[in-house]
Structure 1
Amino acid sequence: MNKEEQVIMGFRDLFNKMVWLNKFKMEDRLKDYKPSEVHCIEYIGRNVDSNVTKLAESFYMTRSAISKITKKLIEKGFIESYQKSDNKKEIYFRLTPQGKVINKVHEELHKEFRERDKAVFEQVTEEQFDSMLSFMERYSRHLDAEIKKLGVDSKSE
């Protein structure tokens, strides 16, 4: 296996380990919620004026799939929709008090996971962080270009 393959496999392996390790606490503390719902709540909590298009772009899902998720979240009382006075066409979302509680639990879990992994990140130099971030940004731009070449807008329907 060459270094390129090692990097790709390493990313995949790291991601799978993180998901597996985090899964048990996430499922225990957020057992009544689907991961897609929790991540939608997280995005809305972090981003003012979230709408279906922004959510679809962020999650690489179709607008119709996001519409279904947001409809369920509204029905469950976790988010509410609103419109701006200057734009009655666009519908935006914000968290309800109940949605804020779920978001807080999720944030606390991520903080706990960061604490668990802190020992590794404390050993990484600024130059190493910069190098890793630079690589990820280049690779992401490359993948965006490849998606665009296919003539598929991965961020819409």
Structure 2
Amino acid sequence: MNAHEKINDILVHLFNEIWELEEDAIITDEYKDISNNDMHIIEAIGLGSDSTMSVVAKKLGITAGSLTTSVNSLVNKKYVVRERSETDRRVVYIRLTEKGRRAYRHHEDFHMQMTDAVIQSLDENEMPVLLKTLESLSKFFRGYKEEK
């Protein structure tokens, strides 16, 4: 297998493994009532208090209508609350409940462990190479998404 084929093989398997492992690591007994997708919505809402449906939908690259179904479910499960703006009743803010904040921190912890595992294996000369590689990959994904 040449270098191009090997890199392709690693990337394809790595993305699949991260998705599966993340679901196994994140959806524990405490969070068995939500999906990995729900956890990413929780992540996009974040710990602040000024998230709106349109802001969160934009972060996720989906429509506000698509987000509504998931947020309704998360509200019913007590991870998220909706609050109307006092100054403009048309604006609805969404924020995490204490249960939602615990889920957010749980998800964040997994990402920190994953990042730490990669960084610990690098020396100071390898870090810039990894950063450049990941930035190139990220740029490709963003450009590819914009083309669609």
How does the TM-score come out when normalised to structure 2?
0.73
Amino acid at match of 2:20: W
Amino acid at match of 2:62: M
Please give the alpha-carbon distance, in whole angstroms, between the structure 1 residues aligned to 2:9 and 2:22: 20
Instruction: Tell me the residue number matched to 1:154.
Output: none
Structure 1 position 17 matched with structure 2 position 22: no
Is the 2:44–2:60 contact (alpha carbons within 8 Å) kept by the matching residues of 1?
no
Q: Give 1:39 deviation, angstroms.
A: 2.0
Which structure has the higher relative contact order (CA within 8 Å, separation 6+)? Answer: 1
Q: Give 1:60 deviation, angstroms.
A: 2.9
Cα deviation code 1:100-138 (max 9, x no counterpart): 233344445x17x717x8555313134422222223223
Structure 1 residue runs without a partner (length 5+): 151-157
Instruction: Tell me the residue number matched to 1:114.
Output: 113
Count how many residue pairs are aligned between Structure 1 and Structure 2. Answer: 147
Instruction: Tell me the residue number matched to 1:100.
Output: 101
Q: Give 1:68 deviation, angstroms.
A: 0.8
Please give the alpha-carbon distance, in whole angstroms, between the structure 1 residues aligned to 2:113 and 2:4: 27
Instruction: Tell me the residue number matched to 2:139.
Output: 141
Q: CA RMSD in A?
A: 3.0
Amino acid at match of 1:145: G
Cα deviation code 1:47-83 (max 9, x no counterpart): 5422222322333333222111111112222211224
